[in-house]
């Protein structure tokens, strides 16, 4: 008897040997996955919009906020391999759902933080773990399993671009809500939006054993890492992502406050981050096109 691991009963279909549900067409999977990527990276990329108002209102130095975000980035990176392994074993929907709940809880508690320790717990620990559990890398992995061959390259590029679109959308949104209703309201609104990942994640559900793709048992994590790092191109890819990660985190966190220090407005900083995201969309698409 077939058991359902990730979603309610529905008509069953097949995409390249992976057992999914009848309503999970490639277009549905693509749209829902891209929305998840947008909702995951959007609030994270707008974090710099909260550095100045929180520091001023709570009478903290900027180092307090920066330290919490440093914790967030460390946990985000450290937890992602484990999130990927759990998604392979138990299905992406479970990991995405837990990640989204932690992410939303972290943003909500961040809005009510009154001490540096509470900020470290909310913006640092909870949001960091939530980011890892609901990240676009899980979406890309699901695309690789669920999408037919002819859809895969398109879905990989679209999923990456969707995260950048979140940066383009959420930074101005954070500045606008903060100006009109306060930074606490902006964080609570973002927490509510992140919870939209819960229903969207059903589009990435599978039937049966989530650890099998096309009837072939996958490698262990150690075997996969050993094989991957045996390829020079993969090591260079990891180095490239490391470089991208630390410079993007630094810019999105500190550039908006720096521009305010130089006499510009919060909106100017928000739109600067948004433009970076916009051109990252173009760059991602062009890089995919040239590589293919």
Q: Where are the domains of the chain?
A: 22-212+220-291
Tokens of 44: 């994270």
Mean pLDDT by 10 residues, the chain (292 residues): 41 50 83 95 95 96 96 93 88 94 98 97 98 90 85 83 93 96 98 97 74 54 78 84 80 94 95 93 76 61
For residue 158, the model assigns a pLDDT of 85
Q: What residue has token string 């990329």?
A: 45
Best CA proximity match to 277, nearest among 120, 128, 168, 155: 168
For residue 8, the model assigns a pLDDT of 41
DSSP 264: -
Give the integer Cα–Cα distance in Å for 288 and 292. 6
For residue 247, the model assigns a pLDDT of 81
For residue 292, the model assigns a pLDDT of 58
Give domain 22-212+220-291's CATH superfamily: MFS general substrate transporter like domains (1.20.1250.20)
Instruction: Return the SS3 of 68.
Output: helix
Q: Distances from the Cα of 269 to the Cαs of 44, 51, 204, 250, 279, in angstroms?
A: 15, 12, 35, 14, 16
For residue 137, the model assigns a pLDDT of 86
Residue 291's contacts (CB-CB under 8 Å, 6 or more residues apart) are: none
């Amino acid at each position: 008897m077939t058991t359902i691991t990730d979603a309610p009963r529905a008509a069953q279909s097949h995409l390249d040997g992976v057992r999914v549900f009848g309503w999970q067409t490639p277009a549905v999977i693509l749209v829902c996955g891209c929305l998840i990527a947008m909702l995951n990276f959007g609030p994270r990329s707008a974090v710099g919009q909260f550095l100045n108002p929180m520091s001023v209102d709570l009478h903290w130095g900027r180092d307090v906020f920066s330290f919490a975000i440093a914790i967030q980035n460390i946990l985000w990176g450290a937890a992602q391999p484990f999130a990927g392994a759990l998604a392979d074993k138990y299905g992406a929907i479970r990991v995405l759902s837990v990640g989204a709940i932690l992410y939303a809880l972290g943003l909500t508690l961040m809005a009510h933080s009154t001490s540096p320790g509470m900020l470290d717990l909310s913006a640092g620990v909870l949001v960091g773990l939530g980011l890892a559990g609901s990240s676009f890398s899980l979406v890309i992995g699901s695309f690789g399993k669920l999408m037919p061959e002819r859809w895969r390259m398109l879905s990989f590029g679209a999923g990456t671009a969707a995260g950048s679109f979140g940066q383009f959308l959420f930074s101005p949104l954070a500045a606008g809500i903060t100006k009109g209703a306060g930074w606490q309201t902006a964080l609570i609104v973002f927490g509510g939006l992140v919870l939209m990942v819960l229903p969207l994640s059903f589009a990435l559900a599978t039937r049966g054993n989530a650890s099998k793709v096309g009837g072939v048992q996958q490698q262990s994590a150690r075997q996969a890492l050993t094989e991957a790092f045996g390829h020079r191109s993969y090591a260079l890819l990891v180095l490239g992502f490391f470089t991208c990660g630390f410079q993007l985190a630094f810019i999105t966190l500190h550039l908006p406050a720096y521009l305010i220090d130089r006499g510009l407005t919060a909106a100017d900083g928000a739109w600067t981050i948004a433009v970076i995201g916009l051109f990252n969309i173009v760059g991602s698409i062009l890089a995919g096109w040239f590589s293919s």
